[in-house]
Amino acid sequence: MKKIISGKVREVYDLEDGRMVIVTTDRISAFDVILPTMITGKGKVLNALSNFWFDYTKDIVKNHMISSDLKDMPTEFQKPEYEGRTILVKKLKMIPYEVIVRGYMFGSMYDAYKKGENFLGHKFDKEYQQAEKLDEPIVTPSTKAAEGHDINVTIEYMKNDLGEELGSKIEKTAIAIYKKCYEHAYKNGIIIADTKFEFGLDENGELVLGDEVLTPDSSRFWNLAEYKVGTSPKSYDKQFVRDWLKENNLAGDANIKSIPAEIVEKTAALYRECQTKICGK
């Protein structure tokens, strides 16, 4: 067993038998800096949400989950500190794209729309306000850069690169997952404005959903009760941390010593609320 990834949030271990162990930590990053203060329980929330969605969408596409039971893990992980934040997964040949599904006119897409420009090959003929729901969700992939920032590309670019059949299957699968999960979240008071998926291929060349799924770290979640078209809704994520960093001129500063306890607790509470609404516990 060897550690192959130590990311902003996750530690990934290769068991070298076709399986991997993924541990979701309580680390938090903002403005491309991993912050020195942990958000208590954040890793368990992200893990619980992903596990919920993997089970909820298994009728649409296979996923990489093998087990979340510590008894199924190598003995090194059969310890209390790994409970609730560790999963055993199938190793995949990952597809080198993040598959972003957008259901609302927001962010960089809204910026392009206001200028009358196409957005990554998508043209909008009707009038939209900021944060208004699109008639149909769209897919805008981005390349997964080994270094530096990912690059947004058109769906046609991805299909040309991967082949029409696989590219189209990824597009249709991503939209199907988004639509099913959107309805569940909406009924429970959360709007999934946009999200990103990652897919891989298994040993038989079948498409498999991997990485994390529909968490506040990989998605833009809005509180339905506070949502209003024409505004910039607040997200269920690291908004308190980002706001505190900006207010104190610390955005992007790698020398931050700590985050105030009040900000940590407010952020942790947001994550917990998101889990409670979606998972029901």
Domain assignment present for 192: yes
Tokens standing for residue 12:
């990934």
List, in sequence order, every beta strand (DSSP E) within 105-202.
Answer: 133-143, 151-152, 190-201
Domain assignment present for 164: yes
- pLDDT value of residue 179: 98
Predicted TM-score (pTM) above 0.85: yes
When divided into structural domains, the chain yields a total of 1
Within 8 A by CB and 6+ apart from 186, the residues are 192, 224
Q: What is the CATH number of the domain that holds 119?
A: 3.30.470.20
Domain assignment present for 128: yes
- pLDDT value of residue 125: 86
- pLDDT value of residue 247: 93
- pLDDT value of residue 234: 87
Domain assignment present for 278: no
Tens of each residue's pLDDT in the chain, 281 residues: 899 999 899 999 999 999 999 999 999 999 889 999 999 999 999 999 999 999 999 999 999 999 999 999 999 999 999 999 999 999 999 999 999 999 999 999 999 999 999 999 999 989 999 999 999 999 999 998 666 677 999 999 999 999 999 999 999 999 999 999 999 999 999 999 999 999 999 999 999 999 999 999 999 999 999 999 999 998 888 888 989 999 999 999 999 999 999 999 999 999 999 999 999 96
- pLDDT value of residue 146: 63
Domain assignment present for 126: yes
Backbone angles phi, psi at 31, to 5 degrees: 55, 40
Domain assignment present for 156: yes
- pLDDT value of residue 239: 83
Pairing status of strand 10-14 against strand 2-6 = antiparallel
- pLDDT value of residue 148: 61
Domain assignment present for 21: no
Domain limits for position 108:
93-226
Domain assignment present for 259: no
